[in-house]
């Protein structure tokens, strides 16, 4: 008995390793997915080690150097300097922090809430409380997320926290809808019926039998959404509803530079380019994850 148990454990571990290997193979087949992964890793690395990797870390705060204002891109200041004489590259890299925090915190709040609502609504589809919950979701979905986020952020004090709250309120319904749809489609499958007929608790059925089947699409959407949440956050800070100066935020930097266009183009073009790169990286990574989870099974 003991020998066979050990043998089973070894084969279990190798089966798991095999599954991981196959998943990595499917992911790495596309060079673009690898590029996405590399870029996302670099963005995270830069954000964490911003004080070390940037040339002028002190420029990230309330720093003024009127002797060096509006320098065009050069070797010393690859992205140029702004109206306060601060290095734009440094400020962009520091702004990655706020952007990533925005994305991670918003998704960490939105995904569990949206998933729970969607699971509940989908599993009890047809019952009156499910109908109420899903109609409320629809009301939120009817308003474009950016408009809703702007409206909410305008009501609150302009801080990073409040802009995150605003984005959260406008974002959860998308997860609720996604999970709702998937739950409705599996809830009558025999594998769900089988555990129901065995007498499994309904919450356990929702969270431990149905939910694991949705993790792939949820993970894919999360990765793809990361970029969009960051863009929405940048949009809020563009109109002054996000992070307040002097803390650098990509949206604020773009709007600051807009006044000086087109002569001093670098002030807003480089932060804008950074937003594009962040969204692009997460989208490439998301596509790779989708490829990994959906193909070859």
Partner 1 sequence: MSVILRIRNLKKYFPTSKKGVFVKAVDGIDFDIYKEDVFALVGESGSGKSTTAYTVIGMYEATEGKIEYKDLDISRIHWKRPIQLKKNIQIVFQDPGTSLNPSKTVSQIIGAPLIIHKHLRGEKLREAIINALNMVELPSEYIYKLPRDIGGGEKQLVAIARALSAGPEFVILDEPTSALDVSIQAKIIRTLLKLKEELGLTYMFITHDLSLVRNISNRVAIMYLGKIVEQGPTSQIFAEPSHPYTQMLLSSIPVVTKAEEAFKPKQVQSTGEIPSPVDVPPGCSFHTRCPLAWDTCRKIEPQPVELQPGRIVKCHLYSKHKATLSGAKL
CA 242, 235, 240, 163 dihedral sign is negative
Segment contacting partner 1 (CB under 8 A): 57-65, 187-195, 230-238, 246-254? 187-195
Q: Are 107 and 229 in contact (CB under 8 A)?
A: yes
Q: Is 199 in the site for partner 1 (CB under 8 A)?
A: yes
Separation CA 52–CA 31 (nearest Å):
30
Q: Closest separation between CB of residue 216 and partner 1, Å? A: 9
Binding mask 15-54 for partner 1 (x = CB under 8 A): xx--x-----------------------------------
Of 95 and 178, CB closest to partner 1? 178
Short-list 181, 173, 172, CA closest to 119: 181
Listed ranges 2-10, 47-55, 119-127, 165-173: which one lies at the site for partner 1 (CB under 8 A): 2-10
- Give 7's contacts (C-beta < 8 A, 6+ positions apart): none
Among 67, 126, 212, 262, binds partner 1 (CB under 8 A): 212
At 174, list the tokens.
């998308």
Does position 126 interact with partner 1 (CB under 8 A)? The reply is no
Q: For partner 1, give the closer residue by CB, 31 or 193.
A: 193
SS3 201: coil
Q: Which candidate, 203, 212, 210, places its Cα nearest to that of 187?
A: 210
Least distance CB 291 / partner 1 (angstroms): 18
Residue 16: CB minimum distance to partner 1, A: 7
- Buried b / exposed e over 58-70, threshold 16 CB at 10 Å, is ebbeebeeeebee
Dihedral angle sign, alpha carbons of residues 214, 216, 219, 223 = negative
Per CB under 8 A, contacts with partner 1 among 220-279 are none
- Choose which of 17, 108, 151, 194 interacts with partner 1 (CB under 8 A): 194
129 lies in the binding site for partner 1 (CB under 8 A) = no
| Binding-residue total with partner 1 (CB under 8 A) | 27
Instruction: Provide the residue count of the chain.
Output: 297
8 Ramachandran zone, left/alpha/beta (phi>0; psi -120 to 50)? alpha
**Is residue 198 a contact point for partner 1 (CB under 8 A)?**
yes
Q: Which stretch binds partner 1 (CB under 8 A): 159-167, 206-214, 238-246, 275-283?
A: 206-214
For partner 1, which is the closer residue by CB, 83 or 219? 219
CA distance 21 to 27: 10
- Residue span binding partner 1 (CB under 8 A) among the ranges 7-15, 36-44, 65-73, 280-288: 7-15
Helix axes 215-238, 88-123, angle to 10 degrees: 130
**Residues near partner 1, by CB under 8 A:** 4-5, 7-8, 11-12, 15-16, 19, 189-200, 202, 209, 212-213, 215, 297
């Amino acid at each position: 008995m003991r020998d066979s148990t050990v043998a089973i454990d070894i084969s279990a571990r190798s089966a798991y390793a095999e599954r991981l290997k196959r998943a990595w193979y499917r992911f790495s087949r596309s060079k673009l997915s690898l590029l996405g992964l590399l870029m996302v890793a670099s963005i995270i690395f830069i954000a964490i080690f911003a004080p070390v990797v940037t040339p002028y870390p002190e420029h990230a705060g309330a720093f003024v150097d009127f002797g060096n204002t509006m320098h065009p891109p050069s070797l010393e200041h690859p992205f140029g300097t702004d109206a306060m004489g601060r290095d734009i590259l440094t400020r962009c890299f520091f702004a990655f922090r706020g952007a990533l925090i925005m994305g991670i915190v918003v998704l960490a709040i939105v995904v569990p809430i949206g998933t729970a609502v969607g699971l509940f609504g989908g599993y009890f589809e047809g019952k009156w409380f499910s109908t109420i919950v899903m109609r409320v979701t629809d009301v939120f979905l009817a308003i474009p997320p950016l408009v809703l986020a702007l409206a909410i952020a305008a009501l609150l004090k302009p801080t990073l926290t409040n802009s995150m709250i605003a984005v959260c309120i406008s974002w959860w319904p998308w997860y609720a809808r996604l999970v709702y749809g998937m739950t409705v489609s599996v809830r009558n499958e025999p594998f769900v019926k089988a555990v129901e007929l065995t007498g499994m608790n309904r919450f356990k059925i929702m969270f431990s039998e149905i939910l694991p089947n949705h993790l792939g699409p949820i993970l894919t959407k999360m990765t793809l959404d990361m970029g969009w949440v960051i863009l929405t956050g940048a949009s809020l800070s563009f109109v002054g509803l996000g992070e307040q100066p002097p803390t650098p935020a990509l949206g604020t930097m773009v709007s600051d530079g807009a006044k000086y266009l087109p002569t001093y183009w670098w002030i807003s073009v480089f932060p804008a380019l950074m937003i594009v790169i962040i969204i692009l990286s997460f989208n490439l990574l998301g596509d790779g994850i989708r490829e990994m989870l959906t193909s070859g099974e």
